[in-house]
Amino acid sequence: MKVNNFDNDFAFEKTQSVRFNRLYKHLFPDLITIETVGLDREKQGIDKIIKFFDKEITTQEKARREDYGDFLIEMWHYTPYGRQKGWVAKTEADLLFYAVPDKIYALPLPALQEWLQNHKEYLKSLKWVKAYNSNGNYWTWSKPVEWVKFGFVIAYDF
């Protein structure tokens, strides 16, 4: 089982904000603003709100320093108080944007959540990847799913 450092991974993810914003402006030329949310919305799995004249889209952003050809999905995290569902089950965002060095993948979160429900046996066959979060004093347990498994992902060279 591979063990990652959550704090380093999270810090790197935050450095990718400019990249994500450039992609949003490219994808949604009629957007009015891109709002980075506060802690209350972050706890709902929302990192940014893309605002238009008559609607808004909520996003969650993930990033990895290397492209392993897969998508690391946090299934659980373990705290001193017990096991809790990972971000993929709790997020209320509309879209997920997942950055690797030369690409940003986009996928609708409801479709991802439905896919996970329909592929539980496949998920059981995958290895676990653990990461320790020293700030929150918990471990995350994730599954690496190959991008080719999803029929609803769009990759952007960004």
pLDDT string in tens for the chain (158-residue length):
555 565 666 677 778 899 999 999 999 999 999 999 988 888 889 999 999 999 999 999 999 988 999 999 999 989 888 999 999 999 999 999 999 999 999 999 999 999 999 999 999 999 999 988 877 788 899 999 999 888 888 888 87
Q: Tell how strand 2-5 and strand 129-133 pair up.
A: parallel
d(CA 73, CA 85): 11
Are 133 and 5 in contact by the 8 Å Cβ rule? The answer is no
User: Which residues lie across from 24 on neighbouring strands?
Assistant: none
Q: What domains, with CATH codes, occur in the chain?
A: 2-156 (3.40.1350)
